[in-house]
Amino acid sequence: MKLPTGIPNPNNKVCKLQKSLYGLKQASRQWFAKLHNELLLQGFKQSKNDYSLFIQTTNSSLTIVAVYVDDIILTGNDHTIITQLKHHLHKVFSIKDLGRLHYFLGIEVSYVPQGIILTQHKYTKELLQASGLNDFKAAVTPLPQNMKLSSTEGTLITDPLYYRSMVGKLNFLTNTRPDLAYSVHHLSQFMQQPRDTHLQALHHTLGYVAHTSGQGILMNGADKLILQAFCDSDWASCPDSRKSVSGYILQLGKSPISWKSKKQATVSRSSAEAEYKAMANAAAEVTWMVRLLTDLGFPIHEPVTLHCDNQSAIYIAKNPVFHERTKHIAIDCHFTREKVMEGLIQLTYLPTSSQIADIFTKILPSHQFNKLLTNLGAISAKIVGGVKNTTTYTNEHVP
């Protein structure tokens, strides 16, 4: 590091860096390495399935530390251990104790008798203000039903930066709004050259967000929490590439904990193949989630039920015989079959009318959309109450 201008330096000396400073490329890495070492010294173990997660288990206690840069969530069932860890972190890093968890990375946490509600009401309000629109037309679904946008239809808009910015903001909103996952995925395909038709669809989505701004997800407890997954696909739905859309959601009990809507990488030659690929994506997420829950002291001993509404895809996954008509399916898609044979996953047929993953693959009629949204775990929330032994911290300075 060179000496600042104005300081005499006849011998061309340089500065030796004693600690990492904000603005340096290595600052964040050095900060995390320091925090990592301190937590290990306190008896925590870093999760191999999520490197930002640290866990300490004893015969009678479980303490969990979740880290995002210099923001930390600390929770557990032993208040003494939590207090000791807070004092140690304050001594080493000079932390600020923000008390019970109410706000973290734009996500608002509310507490009701039924459980914990996660929303982004404040972020939604800021997003709508940034849109520059004064009048939002009411919409009952995120996008008009049966609408299929194309990359070539319509006139190029003069300000593509606005479109990209708003879609990016909506993407962050999907952290607590699974009902927006498909629409944001669909709109994000036209970031390179957005057209007026895409902008109209974006305004429709903003109208839906404006009239559902208090919506979030409910995380409720139960005596026996069962992990289950739902997967679905919309075959050849893209009018430009004829690629299919995959969607899945994982629920722990009745609480949604992971979901995704994504266009498939290759063209599927049949609806069964498209469903099979969606099933493989869900199976991979289930595999990771089982390992993560085991780290958290919640091992899954029974096969995870994966619900699918396509009988042919279920038959392909269950049958170990490599049929002639399935040779064209990529080898990695047979990952599902391996997990079925290992006993990690069991496949179950579910009628399309009850398939909640359908909401991640297409725009549904309003009555079906609202029905699946309720079964999914979405809820309209108000900010209330507090919770015991859950704490948020933010670091005042990085060492």
- Alpha-carbon span 298 to 300, nearest angstrom: 7
Q: Evaluate whether residue 397 is within a structural domain.
A: no
Cβ atoms 227, 346 nearer than 8 A? no
pLDDT value at residue 20: 63
- Alpha-carbon span 359 to 361, nearest angstrom: 6
Cβ within 8 Å of residue 313, ≥6 positions away: 272, 273, 275, 276, 279
Mark whether 205 and 346 lie in a shared domain.
no
Cα separation of the two ends of the chain: 18
Domain that holds residue 153: 118-210
Mark whether 90 and 152 lie in a shared domain.
no
- Alpha-carbon span 119 to 214, nearest angstrom: 7
Mark whether 200 and 228 lie in a shared domain.
no
pLDDT digits (tens, 9 = 90+) for 27-80: 778 888 888 999 999 889 999 998 899 999 888 889 999 998 888 999 888 888
Mark whether 153 and 232 lie in a shared domain.
no
- Alpha-carbon span 249 to 360, nearest angstrom: 9
Q: Evaluate whether residue 11 is within a structural domain.
A: no
Q: Evaluate whether residue 390 is within a structural domain.
A: no
pLDDT at 392 over 50: no
Q: Evaluate whether residue 260 is within a structural domain.
A: yes
Mark whether 228 and 368 lie in a shared domain.
yes
Q: Tokens for 334?
A: 């047979």
- Alpha-carbon span 78 to 168, nearest angstrom: 40
pLDDT at 199 over 60: yes
Mark whether 353 and 227 lie in a shared domain.
yes
Mark whether 238 and 265 lie in a shared domain.
yes
Q: 68: domain CATH number?
A: 3.30.310
Last residue of a domain, one of 182, 210, 238: 210
Mark whether 266 and 288 lie in a shared domain.
yes
Mark whether 38 and 145 lie in a shared domain.
no
pLDDT digits (tens, 9 = 90+) for 227-276: 999 999 988 888 888 999 999 999 998 889 999 999 998 888 888 888 88
The phi and psi torsions of 101 (rounded to 5 degrees) equal -70, 115
Among all chains, which residue has been given the structure tokens 């997990």? 339
pLDDT value at residue 386: 39
pLDDT digits (tens, 9 = 90+) for 294-308: 988 888 888 999 999
Q: Give the residue, 123 or 334, on which the prediction is more confident.
A: 123
Q: 309: domain CATH number?
A: 3.30.420.10
Q: Evaluate whether residue 2 is within a structural domain.
A: no
Mark whether 290 and 194 lie in a shared domain.
no
pLDDT digits (tens, 9 = 90+) for 76-116: 888 888 989 999 988 888 888 888 888 988 899 988 888 88
Q: Evaluate whether residue 127 is within a structural domain.
A: yes
Burial 258-278 (b: 16+ CB within 10 A, else e): bbbbbbbeeebebbbbbbbbb
pTM of the full structure: 0.83
Cβ atoms 241, 267 nearer than 8 A? yes
Q: Evaluate whether residue 14 is within a structural domain.
A: no
Mark whether 199 and 137 lie in a shared domain.
yes
Q: Give the residue, 351 or 389, on which the prediction is more confident.
A: 351
pLDDT digits (tens, 9 = 90+) for 140-188: 889 988 788 888 888 999 989 999 999 999 999 999 999 999 999 999 9
